[in-house]
Chain A
Amino acid sequence: MDHLDALESQSVYILREAFNKLDPLGLLWSLGKDSNVMVWLCRKAFFGRVPFPALFCDTGKKFPEMYAFRDRYAREWGLDLTVEPCPPVEEMDPTLPPAARSSARKTYALKSLVQRLELKAVIAGIRRDEDATRAKERYFSPRGENAEWDVREQPPELWDQFKTDFAPGTHIRVHPLLHWTEVDVWRYIRREGIPVVDLYFAKGGKRYRSLGDQDITHPMTSNAATLDEIIAELEATRAPERAGRAMDHEAEDSFERLRVAGYM
């Protein structure tokens, strides 16, 4: 068994635990590379199916290529797609910096989805190597009534025994990709032939390394136009993956504040 097999098996194990223990369950599908890998892993875990709804929080500001990708693969992969529009930015916490404020819209859409579908848990494709607060996450991460994350009281998690007993009103985030790194994700995409949005591949000396809203996501300088070139680039670089995501960098605590309030 090689490294990618091991990563895949661990994620499949987590997805199956979530499916067995948490009902009803939803999968956040942001259309990015990680969430496409997640859909793929679900189909591996459940033998071709994704036996719960795929949730898309629509900011209305994604790239046109992303919407086209969504419509095509929701059909091809047989997803039960549920779209939730995000509330306007004016309704967000005014003390947040501008890009974080814009990102907070997704948190609100997610909360209303959870309420409307009465979801016990949501699967999200975050990884430890993306950000220092995500590095401290659990595979099964309990959230309070308002989706808030209590970083001081995280449950022990050992030997793949996850927290599966909860007080009423608790909501769970499940993170099956927590142990993957960015280059692992690309190597797996290459091995499995998983489709991704074209924006990841360089055109005119630029490419997107991480995809979000058009107005707060910036491309990086790159000539990596193929999977092999992207992987080679990532093996050499020391630049962080989310450098092009404005909301991470506005203030030291802006991303933690977003996440404590319920952001992915």
Chain B
Amino acid sequence: MAEAVAPLRIALAGHVDHGKSTLVGRLVYDTGSLPEGKLEAIRASSAKRGMPFEWAFLLDAFQAERDQGITIDTTQVWLKTAKRAYTLVDAPGHKEFLRNMVTGAAAADCALLVVDAKEGVREQSRRHAYLLGLLGLSQILVAVNKMDLVDYDQARFAEVARAIEAYLDSLGVAPRAVVPVSGREGDNVAARSAAMPWYHGPTLVEAIDGFRPPIPPVDQPLRFPVQDVYKFDERRILAGRVESGRLRRGDTLVFSPGGRKARVASIEAWPEDRRPDEAEAGRSIGITLDDPIFVERGQIGHLEGSGPVETNSLRARIVWLGRQPLVRGKRYKLKLATAEHQVEVQTIERVIDTADLASRPADAVSAGEIAEVVLRARATLVVDDAKILPRTGRFVLVDGFDVAGGGTVALDGHPRARREGIRSTNVKRVEGRIGLAERWQANGHKSGILWLTGLSGAGKSTLAVELEQHLFRKGWHVTVLDGDNIRHGLSADLGFAPEDRAENIRRVGEVAALIARSGMIVITAFISPYRADRDRVRRIAPDLFHEIHVAADLATCERRDPKGLYAKARAGQIPEFTGISAPYEAPEAPDLVVDTARNGLDACLGQLSAYVERSLGKVEESS
């Protein structure tokens, strides 16, 4: 019984009209891989259009492609040599259809770059070669095609071969072979050409058989992006694919962002008698955990100490495919593994000219261009360096409804990159001398962050100051961090755009956590309109964070308007004003809701102090 082996996937690349489709037709025919009846069908299609036999019709199946003689979309054909089975992924060479070239090439394991012997290395030859590298294809083979048109001239071949080798070398790629061929005549495709006795290297088929199958990333660090959470029955199953490494029953997984931990109780399967004990890279699985921690789509499960990087901004190399150019300052949706985040293009560091690899600064990146950019997100991005773990290091950007670009993450030298493991080490060192419990005992109460969130005018600052005074008089250690005060100093460099608000809240969160860990109660009064920002603060200090919604409807707040801001916002003088021209995302499950529209100040203060007494007032005696 023949073993089922995965075919190796080879992407075809090269400039338009350099004969890729013809070469593929020839490869398939000469290896005896052409389906029965196909030759006759191609002959009939060619005759119908008054053309000589056209190999390209094997791939160019659409009427529009045949009538115009160009490849529009990528396609696949199957090839079998004596050694192995292959899937050939043809890709259009026309610049207009670059998105289809990228679609095709991204699905491949290795690549065959076709260069016309007569025309030599052209614009798309270089761009495609560059893209193959960006897409992570390191095994590249070059066919110098149409040797029949240059009379099989050795000197011309050597010239073209030198040019393409020099270019590939500048990308850090060494081709596995450069083969002189003629797709139309079949020279050096499957059989050695009598017309080129000067060539002693492999035929194209021999060179293709020299490709090595890709090595699955089984021995790399574990990455398990959560795809979905199913609750079809009493089990709560986290579904996802192991993108790298191995996941074993009994492993303790850390889910980033957030850092919550639990053990893998089972690897579920259907039929149920096939539950495995481990699953390796590439496998789609479902797991249950021993602890019902909150996990959602987009988080990545990994092992402690070998986790991905958590960051709010990242540097990436992208290829842009959108109808509209990529613009600095514009927001796009980034999709990486199963996570989706809004990102803003903070800087376009350079646009790379693939002709000579020169680069220039730019404010926009047009379709077909390659660029290095810095993207910034409000939420925490969990990423790997694409050079090390490509499956969690590459992403697409969505503009409106359309996938408009692809990119790979480059983490080298990135200052904001923080490793999950390093963070927890530092925290432990600080807590080693005087424990938090000791501080609580000395103070007679617990510490924490009382995070007041709500619309401008809801009463956050008023309540914060009142509560601070109330607790201070009782002898408690307490302080207030107020929005306006922070913006005079710590966050003086920030404005009110969403990402500036995000950064402001992040800083406040970090400072509040430091103060709370010193044993004090911190009351913060910030609108903090975005759920993601508040969730990030919660993640900084999950054990100390109390989310308190100071709730009042917009009409009430607008009527109060203590700083006259609503009036200005209505008049269009304040952009991005929460409630008017920017959203307020109310907490979904706050620890406390204080309704200042319905209740007076004293009642609200009473409610707050009762909550603080209840949750922070009692310190357990240490044994």
A45 to B398, CA, bound (A): 27
The tally of residues in A whose CB lies under 8 Å from a CB in B reads 60
Q: A1-B216, A240-B37 are in contact. Are A129 and B401 (CB under 8 A)?
A: no
Interface residues of B in 219-236 (CB under 8 A from A): 227-228, 230, 232, 235
For residue A12, CB closer than 8 A to chain B, the reply is yes
For residue A68, CB closer than 8 A to chain B, the reply is no
Interface residues of B in 231-262 (CB under 8 A from A): 232, 235, 237, 239, 241
Docked-complex contact B2 and A235, CB < 8 angstroms: yes
Docked-complex contact A13 and B103, CB < 8 angstroms: no
Docked-complex contact A155 and B403, CB < 8 angstroms: yes
In-complex Cβ contact of A238 among B36, B228, B237, B239 (8 A): B36
Q: What's the count of A-B pairs with C-beta under 8 Å?
A: 158
For residue B486, CB closer than 8 A to chain A, the reply is no
Interface residues of B in 358-408 (CB under 8 A from A): 391, 394-396, 398, 400-403, 406
Stretch at the interface among B61-69, B175-183, B511-519, B539-547: B61-69
Docked-complex contact A239 and B35, CB < 8 angstroms: yes
For residue B597, CB closer than 8 A to chain A, the reply is no
A59 to B241, CA, bound (A): 39
Nearest CB of chain A from residue B67's CB, rounded to whole Å: 10
Nearest CB of chain B from residue A114's CB, rounded to whole Å: 19
For residue A120, CB closer than 8 A to chain B, the reply is no
Docked-complex contact B333 and A256, CB < 8 angstroms: no
Q: A1-B216, A51-B232, A159-B406 are in contact. Are A16 and B284 (CB under 8 A)?
A: yes
Quick one: closest A residue to B297, CB to CB? A20
A111 to chain B: which residues have CB within 8 Å? none
For residue B5, CB closer than 8 A to chain A, the reply is yes
Docked-complex contact A157 and B103, CB < 8 angstroms: yes
Nearest CB of chain B from residue A157's CB, rounded to whole Å: 5
Docked-complex contact B396 and A228, CB < 8 angstroms: no
Interface residues of A in 1-53 (CB under 8 A from B): 1-6, 8-10, 12-13, 16-17, 19-20, 43-49, 51
Q: A16-B284, A46-B232, A151-B64 are in contact. Are A157 and B237 (CB under 8 A)?
A: no
For residue B422, CB closer than 8 A to chain A, the reply is no
Stretch at the interface among B71-79, B305-313, B451-459, B476-484: B71-79
A256 to chain B: which residues have CB within 8 Å? 61-63
Docked-complex contact A135 and B61, CB < 8 angstroms: yes
Q: A16-B284, A252-B44 are in contact. Are A155 and B270 (CB under 8 A)?
A: no
Interface residues of A in 169-223 (CB under 8 A from B): 170, 181, 183-184, 187
A240 to chain B: which residues have CB within 8 Å? 35-38
For residue B280, CB closer than 8 A to chain A, the reply is yes
Chain B positions within 8 Å of A, measured between CB atoms, are 1-6, 32, 34-38, 41, 44-45, 48, 58-59, 61-64, 72-78, 99-100, 102-103, 106-107, 135, 216, 227-228, 230, 232, 235, 237, 239, 241, 268-272, 280-284, 286, 297, 321, 333, 335, 391, 394-396, 398, 400-403, 406
User: What are the nearest 4 A-B pairs in CB distance?
Assistant: A132-B61, A158-B106, A12-B284, A156-B99
